Amino acid sequence: MANCFAPQLTFPSFSPRHFSPRMSHQSPKPSTSTTTSIFTSATKLLWGPSLPPGLLISTARTAWTTVWQLMMTQLAPSDSSGSYTRPTSKFRLDPTQFTSAASSELHLYVGLPCPWAHRTLIVRALKGLNDAVPVSIASPGQDGSWEFKDNNIPIKDKDKLIPSLDKANRCRNLKEVYKSRSGGYDGRCTVPMLWDLRKKDVICNESYDIIEFFNSGLNKLARNDNLDLSPPELKEMIQGWNQIVYPKVNNGVYRCGFAQSQEAYDGAVNELFSTLDEIEDHLGSNRYLCGERLTLADVCLFTTLIRFDSVYNILFKCTKKKLVEYPNLYGYLREIYQIPGVAATCDISAIMDGYYKTLFPLNASGIQPAISSSGDQDSLWRPHNRDLVGKAIEAQLSV
């Protein structure tokens, strides 16, 4: 099941000491440089230029491992082998809503770093639903929850997506939106989430349900109603690819990054790259996953590929290869990126911020690496030549 949640890592609370206002004014908060200087002086006094004593290192290692395991338990639930187990989506789209929801007022909640939410933005753009389905864009807060911010950034391009205030419910964060529904809600507050303004309720927070709905359930509101990303004759093939791509690639990168044992990581990373090898071979003779036609299966694969070299290869330890080392996959990525409307949904800086600055257990320093040339958005505009793939095969067969 596909959705994103920004984890709130909770720990036992402690009662703070109370100081008088006068004392707090007289004791300004030390700067980062002052704090660093204090630590440097202390270490020189305790053990000079040598490394810290072995006992201190082993104690720190044990303490950090314990805290890491505690945080990972909340961030990424796992089974007995240490393999990441993604929780299921709570709100699924009832097929009967495909007609009733089309006439109600819809609002989409997303976060730009999230690959599952990204799917909905792409299909929304391709179908021409930007006006019919307004969007509020949340960003990860300091505690990891999805929150809404007013960036006060002048927008020249009306299709450009930036974090915003909650345009539908005026809530401070996504948790408040979920809790405002009839009956309330105390579960995982994930994106994407489709909201019914008229009923004041969650319609769905399962990404694949939402993109299927956008593709075929809102054609009366869509500017590109003739576009069908899941035509009847390809449904079986699309489903077949989804059964491969979702567990082994979309969720596979998370199974690598969130593995809590070496065994779990080894299994996930080997399965991920063997699947990428298979897709690379397939794309050598097929323009898209299902032949010559872009489908929902391609959209689902794309949102993982666009994050691969800049995030998953580094942060999630998907290190056997970079995507740029797969000529067919990298060309396929560039072609989809260059389809009108798609590039506007991709914000590499927001993606990297969302992963490197939010997933504290995986990147405690918060330091963000430089974007590789393969993941740079300028590089994604290079010619892809994918339109020649099918023609080349036909030419070979006709000889």
Hey, which residues are catalytic here?
A: 114, 254
Q: Which residues make beta-bridge pairs with 351?
A: none
* Residue 70: CB atoms within 10 Å: 14
Amino acid identity of residue 380, one-letter, is: L
Write out the H or E segment, with its range, that includes residue 36.
Answer: helix 32-47
* Residue 339: CB atoms within 10 Å: 14
Crossing angle of helices 262-282 and 327-337, in 10° steps, is 80
- How many whole angstroms separate alpha carbon 28 and alpha carbon 33? 14
**8 Å CB contact between 136 and 210:** no
Amino acid identity of residue 196, one-letter, is: D
**8 Å CB contact between 195 and 202:** yes
- How many whole angstroms separate alpha carbon 247 and alpha carbon 236? 17
By C-alpha distance, which of 200, 158, 152, 141 is closest to 5? 141
3-state DSSP helix/strand/coil % of the chain, to nearest 5:
45, 5, 45
Give me the sheet containing 146-147, strands edge to edge: 146-147, 135-140, 106-111, 193-196, 201-204
